[in-house]
Structure 1
Amino acid sequence: MVKLAFGSFGDSFSAASLRAYLAEFIATLLFVFAGVGSAVAFSKLTDDGALDPAGLVAVAVAHAFALFVGVSIAANISGGHLNPAVTFGLAVGGHITLITGFFYWVAQVLGSIVACFLLQFVTNGKIPAHGVASGMNALEGIVMEIVITFALVYTVYATAADPKKGQLGIIAPIAIGFIVGANILAAGPFSGGSMNPARSFGPAIVSGDLAQSWIYWVGPLVGGGLAGLVYGDIFIGCHGPVPTSEAYP
């Protein structure tokens, strides 16, 4: 069952919560700067900017490395979400309140937007926005994003949020980075392999291409919510009081 908790504004504006929002902003900014920057750099190094197999691998590896670092540097402060879908999935499982989660979203989206504006400024390059591939429709793109985001948030639960994780928690940032890199390799040519509304929304805002940005909110949020429901109910089972953001992971 869904374990959503509204929370209180007092808890959401505590010193610990404000530090968590700042940590999410910085970590998301650094992740998006490296991830989107890898795509911009590839376009700079090729004549037509078309993403070939080597470029797909390079972008996937860059995202995996950047997310591994981003989760690691924010984990002890905010939990290292860097992704509204991860935050929503954890809220569904009762690991963060809705009010605090909303401010996580704000910090994550602002971090992504600032990262893309910085990239545009320093590279004078076009910021690529996510969109489904030619021949795919919106529903197919949403389903793809649901599946790969489910895999990401399920991994977050298994390696970071599960109270029985034990020593497995040590490798959580690596596992999370790996699943993102693998999913980009699988879904990149089709839906773009976002799994992250903030990662897609920043480039959409800066590029002015918002036509398909809704896909990258609907798909990842549904996938993240399903993962929180499945892992939280079936594998964690019991539900205690909702912890503060500093208690996760």
Structure 2
Amino acid sequence: MSEIKSWAFWRAVAAEFVGMLLFIFIGLSAIIGKDATGSLENIAQEKIAQELKVALAFALAIATLAQSLGHVSGAHLNPAISLGLLVSCQISALRCLCYILAQMLGAVAASAILNVSKGQGFIIEFLATLQLVLCVIAVTDKRRSDVTGSAPLAIGLSVGLGHFAAISFTGCGINPARSFGPALIRSELKDHWVYWLGPMCGGIAAALIYDFLLCPRTQTFSRRRDVLLHGPEDQSDAVEIIGEGNSSPGPSQWPKH
């Protein structure tokens, strides 16, 4: 029961909620698409393409979220994995229970968000960008020594993941500058605010979630102000995480997907 008194424990539970929300959002968004039309052959081909799209979306989602959240919670994102690690005596019963509850709530929240009809374009752009910026911040966090593989590749896959989720709805902006150029040249600026407000709010939300909830920094307000005004004194400066240390499962305990 000592875990329940640890902020690291609750940050890990929050990471499972956020991760499951993004995982389900991406997967369901990839599933939802235009119905196949035309000949039976064309319908069959489109069905195969859709199945491949969905499979890749879920696979890339796990890969990206494991890089983004694995150092916080282990990135289980599946009650079966949490239960398996419990039986394997790698996590406590309390952590398993809280993880499963957080995963269930995250799945319900993602489903509810996608069920909203009004403002859907904004929501899609917001969440697609949130997962991208969260990945960028996480894999480039200089406090981490556990990032394996290529950080640029992880970020590139995250961009692809955003396209799997959003391209059927908004064309997948997630980059206001990229959306602005073609829209201006072609004079198609109607509802263009979606491609600015969604990604910008998503980026801000990702930074706040990571820096203040999932992996807090010890920087004081004055330190943050100095960085905003003058830039960091030392680009290689690594800041320690607040609290008693991260008690969540380490990289060697991450589930293999």
TM-score by length of structure 2 reads 0.44
Q: Which has the larger radius of gyration?
A: 2
